[in-house]
Amino acid sequence: MARDAVAEIRERIDVVDLVQSYVPSLKKTGRNYKGLCPFHQEKTPSFIVFPDSQNFHCFGCGKGGDVFTFFMLVENIEFRDALRDLARRAGVELEIGAPPQPEHDAHRHRLIEVNELAATFFHHVLTNSSHGAAGRQVISDRGVSPGMIERFKLGFAPDGWDGLLNFLASRDVSGELAADAGLAQVRDNGGFYDRFRHRLMFPISDREGNTIGFGGRALGDAMPKYLNSPQTAIFDKSTIVYALDLAREPIRKASEVVIVEGYMDVIAAHQFGYENVVASMGTALTEYQVQAVKRGADRIVLALDSDAAGQMATLRGIETMRDSLDGELLPTPDAAGIIRFERKLKTEIAVVQLPSGKDPDELIRRAPQTWPEIVATARPFMDFTIDTLTSSVDLSNARQKSEIVTKIAPLLQQIPDRIVQGHYVTMLARRLGLDDRLVLAEVRKAGINQRPSAQRAGVSPEAVQKVARRSTEDYVVALFLRHPGLTSDVLNRIPIEEVTDVRNRELIRVLRDEDLSDLTPEQIVIGLDDELADHAERLLNTLEGRPEQFPGQIHKESEEMLMKLGKERFTFLMRQLDITLKQALVDNDRDALNAVKVQIGQLAERHRQYYPPPSPYFLDSRSPVS
Ligand SMILES: [Zn+2]
């Protein structure tokens, strides 16, 4: 079964961030966020986003759901397309290509075309134009060979405001499209100007070799030293690995990939025959990037300058301003992050610490033959971390020793292999002159503190409750799927707007809309899109092993589950309104107070539905179900 891309996307895209980009009025109130609903006209905000459960609800129009539902509604697109767009945004690779959506793909292709036109233009300026003289000087000063200029399609952006724009205009590319492609900026008074000026240009490709953006290196002291393409529909730094398109085969051959920091480092390595070298785009290494490079590689080697490596060994994600970047603040992945990549992606990450102040470009050009020796000194990340953290410890200081153990224990606890873990426990104990058992006890303790995950700090009761709610939802949809014929009338009554998981919504739609009476559940699943099919299979599996039931029981159970679902939702929303009401009273906000009263009135209707006044004469099927 494919991994759960929907869950991964949910993990990476915060519903608050996504909603905020469409609802500028969204503001934090208490635990939640509130703003004007994008789906209906209103003056007083009744649209609420719940960060704990990562969903939203509008008390005005009743729309609600998860991050996918929001995106589908606001962009007016279908699940399949939402999945693809959000996957791209989140840097999650979908394993099975969703069927292409012509319109969307056409726009992407156009943006790639425009970037490739720009690459041709910059390359021409560098190699053939008088405007490229300054660029040619730098290239020759740095010792870049003509072969590398071609291989990396290097270019030069001339000084001026519209060199590229004029060229693009001659090819029927509008300023607007150039801006969409990340190549032009909008002027304050309208119109456009070139984003890249007087810079050495490094085209950046996706893994298929399509040009999707650029890195531009300033000549002289201009700032920022490196300027990349902005985020566009085709360019997302966190998902890109520089030169991966060129390095794929060499990585496979060497079973090893070396990650460096700069474009020039990659070019120098390739020039001297070390073609399994890529760069991380100057950003903190992301899980997506690790996943992309590890194909075909048994080992990932990070060749970082000593500062960067040192920061990586620290145990907090440090926000740091780095020179070779866009001048942005960037979180360096910390030790816990790297260990997590290793564990999750089942890959070994090793670190080479380069001599202070030296980058691979310099090292390789000065003595190319020593590069393999340098790479061979890479140490497993955990060795490197223990070394770095213990190197400055004063062994006569008990408190310092204790601090180090407390820091490293949670990392050691993450190592799945007991023998490997034991190896590092011993290593750390020796370094600090402690008994192994003492260190091991701390590692165990770190494990206990981390379990169960729901009890960890930061996970709210609501989030725990969300799991419970989703399970009722999953359960009722599983029943629909297993017994479509027996549950069809219940299926038609489920309030689809209140189903939280977008996949459950989609399944309900499929079951409602299509004539599936002749099909078994398995045949229904086969007809679904991959992501939905995986989810449907999981649902069906949860029903495995249940005792046989009579049709009447199944029908009754689905009724009961529907009722339970509605009650859970009711309680959840009621609690929310209660909080809003209290806040409005504290703020003495009359408008908010009136709005919340109306909303409570609407919910009261539902209260009667779920908790009908008991009949004095007989019990009926509406008797309360817990
Ligand atoms: Zn609304």
| pLDDT for the residue 197 | 94
The domains of the chain are located at 5-90, 108-235, 239-385, 392-451
Å from CA of 469 to ligand 1 middle: 22
Contact by Cβ (8 Å): 253, 297: no
CA of 220 to the centre of ligand 1 (A): 54
Check residue 164 and give its pLDDT. Answer: 96
- What's 396's DSSP letter? T
Expressed in angstroms and rounded, the spacing between residue 584 Cα and the centre of ligand 1 is 20
Q: From the CA of 508, how far away is ligand 1's center (Å)?
A: 22
* Cα(239) to centroid(ligand 1), Å: 34
How far is CA 50 from each of CA 87, 460, 500, rounded to the nearest angstrom?
22, 11, 12
Cis peptide before 355 (omega within 30 of 0): no
- Per the CB < 8 A criterion, the answer to whether 227 and 216 are in contact is yes
Contacts of 127-131 spanning 24+ positions with Cβ under 8 A: 129/158, 131/156, 131/158, 131/159, 131/163
Closest by Cα among 68, 69, 62 to 573: 62
Ligand 1 centre distance from Cα of residue 26 (Å): 13
| Ligand 1 centre distance from Cα of residue 589 (Å) | 20
CATH code of the domain made up of 5-90: 3.90.580.10
Largest CA distance in the chain: 98
**How high is the pLDDT of residue 170?**
96
Distance from Cα 40 to the centre of ligand 1, integer Å: 5
Instruction: Tell me, in angstroms, the distance from the centre of ligand 1 to residue 492's CA.
Output: 23
- CA 47 / ligand 1 centre spacing (Å): 6
61 CA to centre of ligand 1 in angstroms: 4
* C-alpha 44 – ligand 1 centre gap (Å): 11
Cα of 89 vs centre of ligand 1, distance in Å, is 25
The Å distance, Cα 476 to ligand 1 centre, comes to: 26
pLDDT at 273 (0 to 100): 96
pLDDT the model gives residue 118: 98
**Alpha carbon of 41 to ligand 1 centroid (Å):** 7
58 Cα: distance to centroid of ligand 1 (angstroms): 5
Taking the centre of ligand 1 as the mean of its atom positions, its distance from the CA of residue 75, in whole angstroms, is 15
- The CA 502 to ligand 1 mean position distance, Å, reads 18
- DSSP code at position 195: S
* The pLDDT value given to residue 388: 82
- What's the CA-to-centroid distance between 55 and ligand 1, angstroms? 14
CA dist., res. 513 & res. 507, Å (int): 10
Question: 10 Å Cβ neighbour count for 340?
Answer: 15
**Distance between Cα 366 and ligand 1 center (Å):** 65
d(CA 130, CA 191): 27
Give residue 468 CA to ligand 1 midpoint distance, Å: 26
Q: Specify the pLDDT at position 207.
A: 82
CA of 42 to the centre of ligand 1 (A): 8
CA of 63 to the centre of ligand 1 (A): 6
**Centroid of ligand 1 to alpha carbon of 64 (angstroms):** 9
- Whole-number Å distance, alpha carbon 577 to ligand 1 midpoint, is 15
**Distance in Å, CA 212 to ligand 1 centroid:** 38
User: For residue 35, how far is its CA from the centre of ligand 1 (angstroms)?
Assistant: 10
Tell me how far the alpha carbon of residue 66 lies from the centroid of ligand 1, in angstroms: 15
Considering the entire predicted model, what is its pTM? 0.57
Q: Are 119 and 85 in contact (CB under 8 A)?
A: no
Q: From the CA of 173, how far away is ligand 1's center (Å)?
A: 39
Overall residue count recorded for the chain in this entry: 626
Whether domain 392-451 has CATH 1.20.1300: the reply is no
Q: How far is the CA of 39 from the centre of ligand 1 (A)?
A: 5
Mean pLDDT by 10 residues, the chain (626 residues): 72 89 86 89 88 86 91 87 88 61 76 97 96 94 95 95 96 95 90 94 92 92 83 84 92 90 93 94 71 82 72 45 34 64 76 83 93 93 87 86 88 82 92 91 74 36 41 88 86 86 90 74 78 84 76 88 86 81 82 82 76 57 48
**Torsion over CA of 551, 552, 556 and 559, rounded to 10 degrees?**
60
CA of 38 to the centre of ligand 1 (A): 7
Other beta carbons within 10 angstroms of residue 520's beta carbon come to: 11
Q: How far is the CA of 163 from the centre of ligand 1 (A)?
A: 47
Q: How distant, in Å, are the alpha carbons of 180, 183, 361, 468, 581 from that of 461?
A: 43, 47, 52, 11, 20
CATH number belonging to domain 239-385? 3.40.1360.10
**What is the separation of C-alpha 508 from the centre of its chain, rounded to a whole number of angstroms?**
28
9 CA distance to ligand 1 centroid (A)? 25
For ligand 1, the distance from its centroid to the CA atom of residue 57, given in whole angstroms, is 8
| 228 Cα: distance to centroid of ligand 1 (angstroms) | 39
Residues paired with residue 259 on neighbouring β-strands, in sequence order: 278, 302
CA of 48 relative to ligand 1 center, distance in Å: 9
State which CATH number among 3.40.1410.10, 3.90.980.10, 1.20.1540.10, 3.40.50.300 fits the domain covering 108-235: 3.90.980.10
Closest CA to 86 of 236, 295, 242, 292: 236
